[in-house]
Amino acid sequence: MGETKYIFVTGGVASSLGKGIISSSIGKLLQARGYNVTIQKFDPYINIDPGTLNPYEHGECYVTVDGHEADLDLGHYERFLGIQTTKANNITTGRIYKSVIDKERRGDYLGKTIQVIPHITDEIKRNVKLLGNKYKFDFVITEIGGTVGDIESLPYLESIRQLKWELGKNALCVHLTYVPYLAAAGELKTKPTQHSVKELQSVGIQPDILVLRAEHSLSDGLRKKVALFCNVDEKAVVQSIDAPTIYEVPLLMQEQDLDKTILQKMGLPVGEEPDLGAWRTFLERRHAAETKAPVHIALVGKYDLQDAYKSIREALSQAGTYNDRKVEVHFVNSEKLTDENVADALKGMSGVMIGPGFGQRGIEGKFVAIKYTRTHDIPTFGICLGMQCIAIEFARNVLGYADANSREMDEKTPHNVIDIMEEQKAITNMGGTMRLGAYECVLQKGSKAYEAYGKEHIQERHRHRYEFNNDYKAQYEAAGMKCTGINPESDLVEIVEIPTLKWFIGTQFHPEYSSTVLNPHPLFVSFVKAAIENE
């Protein structure tokens, strides 16, 4: 196509309006037209990456194949577009400053006074263009985190202003705002949108397209009003109404010609409308599945917040659709689980997911849940810490090591069935010490995992510091827990399963990160299938 085109997605009025979903939907529509698209997220916070952020504050930490601990919006990008993102797709203010300060210390600036403008903004601009320059994408969509008007966003907005000026038709700004409905007046109110656009204009950015989030449909008159007051074409005022699922949003945007408007504004041929066939088929299957009773799956964990297990919830929901059923996830707080209440807490659950996590808190409840599902043969899927708990519970209650534990929980126990990884032993600081990103795994033929994947060699993403202690491997296998997935280089156990049970698998890796709308993860599909068979 020639030069890379840059689309910036900003947000105003309020946070959590769904910039990630709008960015993903625009990406999906352009991709369906044959363009090579990537999406990146620029976050205005000072952390170097979201790896050390509390899941309660920031939701899940997503992991890219190249081992970057990323904002969860990258998960949406991958799920919608079926692409793989990398470290370059997620930039924070912390990374920008660090890079500038490192350059300054090295003397790269030759004694110049280092300032937000131009040094920080130049670094932002360099990062905006990095992917486009390196991989020759047709479109690079850049989502700017935060809300217009925040002090933290200013350097990003200045960079967008400059880029729009420099790139002309090759850059465009989509601004997402909120149109509240005042029940007392029975009216949708556009004033916050007007103010938000004014805020952008005051820093020199004229948005090209406005996407208005609303709970009620916008009238033509209202769109005209917004267009006139905000200097935007009427056709470029698009509404984004609450949808039953986020996966409807690309179609809702297509109905309003958002992709066509973008192409026209960027001087590209519009051509034929793509039919998004596979996507529509997915949605039809999903709608059909919703007419039936849901399959109930418990998610045992300690982070009682929807976003903390975002990718797991999405992967379960996709796996439900491909099993023609809706998955209803029931969060079960592991901190409250005891041998006395577990039967009640897991009552009616056809499958149980043991979630990933860090630290001691809530760990004993996970053992309680695992003991219950193992002895009652309820399909169970443990991910990362969940897999480690599966191994510890087995050591305690089957191998007979009552004191078995993970070194993460107990430094001194004589039976560390989960131990610190060899390469981590010397490292004591927190940040950046984990086994991160995609690693190879070889599956044992005949295992349930092998059956699910239908192949021997797989690659999955990791985020952990501890590992299965191979000193105990023979004892586990002799007692009926098999190690069916092994890393060929390090011999690390990546999967354990109990083949005599209906479906009982723990994975050291995080399969949820690679489940996408059109390519659901085979382990999730297989797990949900087993749960349905267990109803």
Query: Minimum CB separation from ligand GLN for residue 464, in Å?
Result: 3
Span interacting with ligand GLN, options 84-92, 144-152, 463-471, 475-483, rule CB under 6 A: 463-471
Burial of 111: CB neighbours in 10 Å, binned 0-12, 13-18, 19+:
exposed
The reply to whether omega before 379 is within 30° of 0 (cis) is: no
Our CB check for ligand GLN shows the closer of 128 and 395 to be 395
59 near ligand GLN (CB under 6 A): no
Figure out which of the listed residues 223, 463, 521, 529 binds ligand GLN, where binding follows CB under 6 A.
Answer: 463
Active site residue: 119, 415, 510, 521, which one?
A: 510
Q: Is 389 a catalytic residue?
A: no
Query: Minimum CB separation from ligand GLN for residue 119, in Å?
Result: 36
Question: Please, which residues have CB within 8 angstroms of residue 257's CB and are 6 or more apart in sequence?
Answer: 235
Q: What is the 3-state secondary structure (H, E, C) of 7-63?
A: EEEEECCCCCCCHHHHHHHHHHHHHHCCCCEEEEEEECCCCCCHHHCCHHHHCCCEE
433 near ligand GLN (CB under 6 A): no
Query: Minimum CB separation from ligand GLN for residue 61, in Å?
Result: 9
Token code pair at residue 38: 């990537």
Token code pair at residue 32: 């369906």
Active site residue: 384, 389, 441, 483, which one?
A: 384
> Could you tell me which of 168, 226, 193 has the C-alpha nearest to residue 11?
193
Query: Minimum CB separation from ligand GLN for residue 358, in Å?
Result: 4
466 near ligand GLN (CB under 6 A): yes
Our CB check for ligand GLN shows the closer of 127 and 406 to be 406
CA–CA separation, 163 and 155 (whole Å): 12
CA–CA separation, 447 and 362 (whole Å): 30
Question: Please, which residues have CB within 8 angstroms of residue 45's CB and are 6 or more apart in sequence?
Answer: 92, 93, 94, 145, 152
Figure out which of the listed residues 87, 161, 198, 465 binds ligand GLN, where binding follows CB under 6 A.
Answer: 465
Site string for ligand GLN, 393-412 (x = CB under 6 A): ---------------x----
Q: Is 384 a catalytic residue?
A: yes
Q: Is 456 a catalytic residue?
A: no
385 near ligand GLN (CB under 6 A): yes
CA–CA separation, 163 and 129 (whole Å): 10
Query: Minimum CB separation from ligand GLN for residue 496, in Å?
Result: 14
SS3 breakdown of the chain: % helix, strand, coil, rounded to 5?
45, 20, 35
End-to-end CA distance of the chain: 52
Q: What is the CA radius of gyration of the chain?
A: 25
Applying CB under 6 A, the site for ligand GLN has a residue count of 10
Return the beta strands (E) in 271-406 as ranges.
295-301, 327-333, 351-354, 380-383, 405-406
Active site residue: 158, 393, 512, 521, which one?
A: 512
Residues in the chain: 535
Figure out which of the listed residues 28, 415, 464, 473 binds ligand GLN, where binding follows CB under 6 A.
Answer: 464
145 near ligand GLN (CB under 6 A): no
Query: Minimum CB separation from ligand GLN for residue 468, in Å?
Result: 10
Query: Minimum CB separation from ligand GLN for residue 49, in Å?
Result: 15
CA–CA separation, 214 and 223 (whole Å): 12
Classified as helix, coil or strand, 2 is coil
512 near ligand GLN (CB under 6 A): no
Our CB check for ligand GLN shows the closer of 337 and 391 to be 391
- Active-site residues, by number, are 384, 510, 512
Binding site for ligand GLN (CB under 6 A): 356-358, 384-385, 408, 463-466
